[in-house]
């Protein structure tokens, strides 16, 4: 008989539980757009309604390797998030603010 995950986790050493939790957090922090949408329990259709668009466009956005900053911002905001662009250097990180107003006119993606 299969064990429930909670039972398996309870049998793990505390250090191993901690490592498993940290790895899960790392994986959640690095998701493609499709998986991010799914993790937020949204369908392409639901996201399309928020974007005032259609499901086919959401699907197309999720498959793109390159897109406009405004399209990505609209997609993220439709899920309730906020897009920040950060440049990381060996001596520190810088938030790029140049694109913050792009795509804020309320128009669909």
Q: Could you tell me if residue 16 is inside a domain?
A: yes
Q: Which of 77, 65, 64 is nearest to 108 (CA)?
A: 77
Query: How many domains are there within the chain?
Result: 1
Classify residue 13: in a domain, yes or no: yes
- Is 63 domain-assigned? no
CA distance 62 to 47: 12
Q: Looking at the domain assignment, is residue 7 inside a domain?
A: yes
- Supply the range of the domain harboring residue 26: 1-30
Residues 83 and 77 sit within 8 Å (Cβ to Cβ): yes
Measured between alpha carbons, how far is 63 from 40 in angstroms, rounded to an integer? Answer: 18
Per-residue pLDDT of the chain (109 residues; tens, 9 = 90+): 666 777 777 888 888 888 888 777 776 667 899 999 998 999 999 999 999 999 999 999 999 989 999 899 999 999 999 999 999 999 999 999 887 766 555 444 5
Residue 37 included in any domain: no
CB 76 within 8 A of CB 82: yes
For residue 9, tell me if it sits in a domain: yes
108 to 10, 50, 87: CA distances (angstroms): 47, 9, 27
pTM: 0.66
Q: Which tokens go with 108?
A: 């669909």
The CB density around residue 71, as the number of other CB atoms within 10 Å, is 18
């Amino acid at each position: 008989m299969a064990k429930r995950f909670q039972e398996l986790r309870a049998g793990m050493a505390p250090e191993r539980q901690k490592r498993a939790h940290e790895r899960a957090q790392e994986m959640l922090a690095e998701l493609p757009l499709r998986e991010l949408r799914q993790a937020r329990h949204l369908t392409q259709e639901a996201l399309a309604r928020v974007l005032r668009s259609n499901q086919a466009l959401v699907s197309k956005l999720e498959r793109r390797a390159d897109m406009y900053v405004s399209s990505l911002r609209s997609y993220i905001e439709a899920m309730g998030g906020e897009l920040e662009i950060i440049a990381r250097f060996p001596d520190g990180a810088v938030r790029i603010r140049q694109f913050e107003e792009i795509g804020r006119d309320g128009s669909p993606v």
